[in-house]
Chain A
């Protein structure tokens, strides 16, 4: 028996006009955790779609051998039957159905067309125990957090007698402790003989968990690294992904810090639908001109809630507290008022809150500052195109024209459109919520450079991020938020991931 559970041999997949995959080889050993890395658009997802039968046999060239035999899948059902299950980045769960119903969706525990609920729920409970999730199988899935939903997806895969589990960016939306739990689970499943393929941008996780790593670049396999034998470091992976040595993942930057620009005092926010539940509790922070200030916090700490409530009460109820700009108190009761005062907030969720995806680059860039382009309510369409073109060039948005729909752009380019839109409003204070989420390494570097330029132009910049290395790499000062309270602030020179994490997990009682 071959010691490879999966062998994909010289896979080539062509779309009209584009060669998405070219002679890609992927060999996965039985029982290992195999990571796949590559920049966005490198072809990782396409390869997985070929493997799982989303692109049926015949639409690609090459050979796939699974478990020693040649396979030709014509749909995702075929591959699942063989024990290959793919869990997509966007979870495919129905929020109003229960955990058990979701686990057995399309695969119901039924007799003569009637669902056997006792059997379904008890089997679900067994599966939940296997993934270490302590939840009632009858709980509606919408009531669980993203981390737990991810575990339900894995339980669902286990119910299908999975042999090869494929995870596409499994921890992208998870906080550190949920990620940790998920990775431990993968190790645990590995012990039970389940092979996993993990696509991830989080290199520290790959270095931590993977046995081997295949790097794909521009639709070609670059190399497969044995993580232990080759003593692979994160920098080594990055080198393979970008094809050059990234000496520094964060651009060199010396801040020129001026007077205080923005200050929030004693900010207090309650949950919008659960009165009395305090989400942000007496938070105060300030930013000076030319300074990049980070806000670190675990998921649920209230980072986004703090930012959105300051930005025109876009979140929460019973919002109290004071906002100062250049030492003078200002009101930010509506988004337009906040924008008028020179505030900008780039959301963590580009697709839902940041962009009009069915509109082009031009109109997205102008959408928050139409006043600058119009006289008495009339928009100057030519000026608008000119402005958009300027941003397309200066921000290096990769698109032939500004008339391209933003929905068709990659994550990095979408983020550049969002940033352009807010920079065009000429803000004094920019709050950037997870500015590099879901963006590949090359584009991240570009975004950091843009952030530095904004600071150099004297703007006050606030960066909210889940990635501590990122905050430590670009911020001058980092606030930590835990359970809605600011638990500390550290200068970059003294902050370490450990010191920040300690503050981020500080319980309410121990504060002050």
Chain B
């Protein structure tokens, strides 16, 4: 494949997937202009990461749920419950920070197992199970907290979401450590991209032209380094960003390269066919929800740490942001289609829009209207694209 053909391929054949990236860049540029560049200022980039990390984490779990053909309306309540349990242990009982985190994760897993049981083994639609869960876990949160907010967490706990790794290697006005980590990440990415390219060559499959391949890596390297540069100028590398990056990498691999991931797509694509192909549908569905519960626990721990306390009303409407991120990111409402990376970009589009509008001083009401319309238009665009692709044949 020549470089020109390759480029055309990216823009035409994959418009459905690349469309979202183009939209993302357009939105960044738009708000960067509207905010006179404040959007991309070092401090603000750090803020976006801190502020939306838990939505992105929820969206990772949610996209798997949605690919499997389900939905989870309870994650906001689970975020509140897991944060509350952690707060009780750490703030009230004086346990160390890691006990709180661990407890949040365990509670998340238990919640996931509970919902997975009803969905997978009893056969109640996830919409109902998690609608019930939304009420149930919100109520439990009020019970656990005795109807009052708890704060503040000790500094060690706050560090989980608010902390930065910086100054380890010094630097003059910028954090050298952050830059080195970013550089390592780029080298790692380039290496794995090269390896998979070699793998394809070994199997005699077509690969993109070498100049295009290098161009792609360089482009990614430039973006990542620019991002790291801005972070390094601010407060350094947020711990949350490391957690998020690890989760994205791990779950992207799980969905694209493991048998479990394949089974999730198979169930969402055609449940009957999956069943008759030997997929253990009940088990897979169960683990989809256990996983969602686990990630909700992670998000709960991070959210409680960032908000420096536990409130009975925490995490309200988080589920809708997470679900919106998935659909903006190209997941299908009927299951079987979606990607972790798509959901992340979908979430970031929402994040950049919210943040940009906040910087501009747009009232809350307008923000909601804009977000609602963007969700609608994103899915409409998706359907339009599918129809066009269908008609072309």
B276:A382 contact, CB within 8 angstroms? no
* Chain A residue nearest to B203 in the complex (CB): A382
B262 partner residues in chain A, CB cutoff 8 A: 363, 366-367, 370, 379
CA–CA, A345 to B269, complex, Å? 20
A378:B258 contact, CB within 8 angstroms? yes
The A210-243 residues at the B interface (CB cut-off 8 A) are none
A339 partner residues in chain B, CB cutoff 8 A: 278
B277:A368 contact, CB within 8 angstroms? yes
A367 partner residues in chain B, CB cutoff 8 A: 262, 266, 273-274, 277, 279
B146 partner residues in chain A, CB cutoff 8 A: none
Contact indicator per residue, chain B 260-286, by CB within 8 Å of chain A (1) or not (0) = 111101100110111111111000000
B200:A357 contact, CB within 8 angstroms? no
CA–CA, A345 to B278, complex, Å? 11
Question: Would A335 and B260 be within 8 Å (CB), given that A382-B205, A385-B205 are in contact?
Answer: no
A355 partner residues in chain B, CB cutoff 8 A: 270, 273
Decide if A347 is an interface residue (CB 8 Å cutoff): yes
Residue in contact with B336 in the complex, picked from A312, A358, A386, CB distance below 8 Å: A358
Decide if A132 is an interface residue (CB 8 Å cutoff): no
CA–CA, A81 to B173, complex, Å? 81
Among B257, B272, B273, which residue has the most Cβ atoms of chain A within 10 A? B273
B259:A356 contact, CB within 8 angstroms? no
CA–CA, A314 to B276, complex, Å? 7
CA–CA, A314 to B258, complex, Å? 26
Contact indicator per residue, chain A 393-422, by CB within 8 Å of chain B (1) or not (0) = 000000000000000100000000000010
A358:B203 contact, CB within 8 angstroms? no
Contact indicator per residue, chain A 16-34, by CB within 8 Å of chain B (1) or not (0) = 1000000000000000000
CA–CA, A381 to B200, complex, Å? 9
Contact indicator per residue, chain A 352-388, by CB within 8 Å of chain B (1) or not (0) = 1111111100010011101100100111011101100
Among A368, A371, A385, which residue has the most Cβ atoms of chain B within 10 A? A368
B276 partner residues in chain A, CB cutoff 8 A: 311, 314, 335, 345, 347, 353-354
* Chain B residue nearest to A18 in the complex (CB): B393
Question: Would A359 and B259 be within 8 Å (CB), given that A368-B277, A368-B278, A382-B203 are in contact?
Answer: no
A122 partner residues in chain B, CB cutoff 8 A: none
The A329-349 residues at the B interface (CB cut-off 8 A) are 334-336, 338-339, 345, 347
CA–CA, A363 to B263, complex, Å? 11
A356:B275 contact, CB within 8 angstroms? no
* Chain A residue nearest to B276 in the complex (CB): A353
A356:B266 contact, CB within 8 angstroms? yes
Decide if B123 is an interface residue (CB 8 Å cutoff): no
B203:A383 contact, CB within 8 angstroms? yes
CA–CA, A368 to B275, complex, Å? 10
CA–CA, A33 to B229, complex, Å? 78
A345 partner residues in chain B, CB cutoff 8 A: 276
* Chain B residue nearest to A349 in the complex (CB): B272
Decide if B369 is an interface residue (CB 8 Å cutoff): no
B261 partner residues in chain A, CB cutoff 8 A: 379
Residue in contact with B259 in the complex, picked from A314, A370, A421, CB distance below 8 Å: A370
The B224-279 residues at the A interface (CB cut-off 8 A) are 257-263, 265-266, 269-270, 272-279
Question: Would A377 and B260 be within 8 Å (CB), given that A356-B336, A368-B278, A382-B202 are in contact?
Answer: yes
Decide if B337 is an interface residue (CB 8 Å cutoff): yes
Distance between A277 CB and nearest chain B CB, rounded to angstroms: 22
Decide if B392 is an interface residue (CB 8 Å cutoff): yes
Question: Would A353 and B280 be within 8 Å (CB), given that A16-B392, A358-B337, A385-B203 are in contact?
Answer: no
CA–CA, A383 to B202, complex, Å? 10
Number of inter-chain CB pairs below 8 Å: 88
CA–CA, A16 to B202, complex, Å? 37
- State the interface size on chain A (CB cutoff 8 A): 36
A371 partner residues in chain B, CB cutoff 8 A: 259
The B32-86 residues at the A interface (CB cut-off 8 A) are none
Contact indicator per residue, chain B 161-205, by CB within 8 Å of chain A (1) or not (0) = 000000000000000000000000000000000000001101101
Residue in contact with A379 in the complex, picked from B199, B257, B272, B280, CB distance below 8 Å: B257
A385 partner residues in chain B, CB cutoff 8 A: 203, 205
CA–CA, A381 to B261, complex, Å? 13
CA–CA, A347 to B392, complex, Å? 30
CA–CA, A353 to B277, complex, Å? 9
A378:B257 contact, CB within 8 angstroms? yes
B269:A358 contact, CB within 8 angstroms? yes
B266:A377 contact, CB within 8 angstroms? no
Consensus secondary structure, chain B interface: helix
B337:A352 contact, CB within 8 angstroms? no
A363 partner residues in chain B, CB cutoff 8 A: 262, 265-266
A374:B259 contact, CB within 8 angstroms? yes
A311 partner residues in chain B, CB cutoff 8 A: 276
Question: Would A356 and B203 be within 8 Å (CB), given that A370-B259, A378-B257 are in contact?
Answer: no
A312 partner residues in chain B, CB cutoff 8 A: 278
Distance between A13 CB and nearest chain B CB, rounded to angstroms: 14
Contact indicator per residue, chain A 297-337, by CB within 8 Å of chain B (1) or not (0) = 00000000000000110100000000000000000001110
A353:B259 contact, CB within 8 angstroms? no
Distance between B76 CB and nearest chain A CB, rounded to angstroms: 30
CA–CA, A381 to B203, complex, Å? 10
B277:A386 contact, CB within 8 angstroms? no
Residue in contact with A382 in the complex, picked from B199, B263, B270, CB distance below 8 Å: B199
A379:B393 contact, CB within 8 angstroms? no
Distance between A367 CB and nearest chain B CB, rounded to angstroms: 5
* Chain A residue nearest to B200 in the complex (CB): A382
Distance between B186 CB and nearest chain A CB, rounded to angstroms: 23
Question: Would A359 and B205 be within 8 Å (CB), given that A314-B276, A339-B278, A352-B272 are in contact?
Answer: no
B258:A356 contact, CB within 8 angstroms? no
Question: Would A386 and B203 be within 8 Å (CB), given that A352-B272, A355-B273 are in contact?
Answer: yes
B336:A359 contact, CB within 8 angstroms? yes
B272 partner residues in chain A, CB cutoff 8 A: 352-353
B274:A356 contact, CB within 8 angstroms? yes
A336:B273 contact, CB within 8 angstroms? no
Distance between B314 CB and nearest chain A CB, rounded to angstroms: 35
B273:A356 contact, CB within 8 angstroms? yes
Distance between B177 CB and nearest chain A CB, rounded to angstroms: 32
* Chain B residue nearest to A422 in the complex (CB): B277
B257:A356 contact, CB within 8 angstroms? no
CA–CA, A315 to B158, complex, Å? 55
CA–CA, A382 to B258, complex, Å? 13
Distance between B261 CB and nearest chain A CB, rounded to angstroms: 8
A336 partner residues in chain B, CB cutoff 8 A: 278-280
Question: Would A354 and B269 be within 8 Å (CB), given that A368-B278, A379-B258, A385-B205 are in contact?
Answer: no
B277:A335 contact, CB within 8 angstroms? yes
CA–CA, A355 to B276, complex, Å? 10
Question: Would A357 and B270 be within 8 Å (CB), given that A335-B275, A335-B277, A339-B278 are in contact?
Answer: yes
Distance between B358 CB and nearest chain A CB, rounded to angstroms: 38
A370 partner residues in chain B, CB cutoff 8 A: 259, 262-263
* Chain B residue nearest to A353 in the complex (CB): B272
CA–CA, A329 to B175, complex, Å? 69
Distance between A103 CB and nearest chain B CB, rounded to angstroms: 31
Residue in contact with B258 in the complex, picked from A16, A377, A386, CB distance below 8 Å: A377
B277:A421 contact, CB within 8 angstroms? yes
The B294-322 residues at the A interface (CB cut-off 8 A) are none
CA–CA, A230 to B263, complex, Å? 56
B332 partner residues in chain A, CB cutoff 8 A: 358
Distance between A340 CB and nearest chain B CB, rounded to angstroms: 8
Beyond known contacts A367-B279, A374-B259: 11 more, CB 8 A cutoff: A314-B276, A339-B278, A353-B272, A356-B269, A366-B262, A367-B277, A370-B263, A378-B257, A378-B258, A378-B259, A382-B200
Shortest 9 CB-CB contacts between residues of A and residues of B: A356-B269, A336-B278, A368-B277, A382-B203, A356-B270, A339-B278, A335-B278, A353-B272, A367-B277
